[in-house]
Structure 1
Amino acid sequence: MVIDLNADLGEGFGVWRLGDDTALLDVVTSANVACGFHAGDPLTIRRTCAAAVDRGVLIGAQVSYRDLAGFGRREMDVDPEELCAEVLYQLSAVDGIARAMGGRVSYVKPHGALYNRICRDREQAEAVVAAVADHGERLPLLSLPGSVVHEIAVREGVPTVTEAFADRAYTPEGTLVSRRSPGAVLHDPGEVAARAVRMATRGTVTAIDGSEVTVGARSICVHGDTPGAVALARAVRDGLVAAGVTLRAFG
């Protein structure tokens, strides 16, 4: 059993700080670095990439809608050509900084509303996949298993990595419960760790209605902006190791 543990990092902006990136980089195996559209500024991106390289943590570009005010969590109707260009722009910017720090972007993970939208919206999913393909590095794209974007990526020859969320509630359909709904985000370290272990060892998670949902994930996410994120991530890591799971990045 081999699992990648990823977290969203570099989500400060200017004088505003969000989360403890340094502490999380000592726990995770992959870092989803904000690209500047929902969070992150050039200095934050540079520092996050440098710290990831120092620790041997895989760097991913966490692309988003252009939505700083809403932290990328508001759905937007963007022309497909424009969305493709904006995703490529973000990916290229972070990859350039990562390479200057001695690393490189090794995968792409959409953020927030864009992540959820392309799970079901074929037009926007095709735009995101086209941007990743245009980059030319055959970078893997993180997505929910069974999602529309996963299907399109496979069709277009873009590698995919299936992902599960230890600290988010699931619907019976295998999608994430909206953050607007009560209980959408889980905060108890013991509960989150137990869910991660079950995802890794059994490939399932209990949905909000009590049903069992198959996840089949190669990577498990813990959100870096969640209160107590470091404690949650450490609990997940400790739980996985105790269950005999090997933690290793997928790249």
Structure 2
Amino acid sequence: MKSKKAFTLIELLVVIAIIGILATISVLALSNARAKSRDAKRVGDMKQVQTALELFFNDKNRYPTAEEWATGQIYSTTTESTSTYMQIIPAAVGPADGTCTNNQNTISYTPTEAGASYAISFCLGGNTGTLNSGPKCLTPGGIIDVNCSGIESCNPVCQIGYNCEDSSCVYDQPQADIRASLNPIVASSDLSKMFAVNSADGYFYSSGDSGETWARGVAIPAGLSSLKLAASSDLNNLALASRNNNIYTSVDSGVT
């Protein structure tokens, strides 16, 4: 009688171990895929909310109050009709991922500057696109890679002309006075660099942050008035002309 070959105990243990390892890898891969999917939905939800809030702003010239947000919809009521820009404001996607706590894994809306801006906090469990993991802040300018809480909340949210001081947006009167007297103004093709004449104090001014802040440069030459400005697309080369037919040029963005 012939004996049949069978698996030894060691062989069975090896097979079981391999199956266990493969199962663990599969579970981890599935868990990571689900976490990435949740983060992608969080970012997608925020972009939809941002679009709805901008539609609201275009209609009402302000963003919703906290009470309006609490209704669970983003809508605008006029004397003629009711416009609903988001039927249901999305809730935070659960469970919390990565280092996000349950408190951080919420969608919290805070209107700022008397309805002129807002901050919405949420949290990402892992790196998503160009965003790092951790608490994030949605503002009218997009998603910012910082926590909305504390002083960080108002700094990226404050409008042009305001500074963040003690967690509040404070009006910057000196910069406002400068901007009110700038005429004419020329800008680079991407609007990041600007150059202008201040008719009030008689100086040239430049800005490297799209007109948010201005720095005083050289004085306007005596007798040069009613300026007309022309500039290259990168704003490196400038030409200034006046009614008395004097033309001044600069090849260093108005420094000289």
* TM-score, normalised via structure 1 length: 0.23
Which structure dedicates a bigger proportion of its chain to helix?
1
Which structure dedicates a bigger proportion of its chain to strand?
2
Structure with higher Rg: it is 2
Greater RCO between the two (CA within 8 Å, min separation 6)? 1
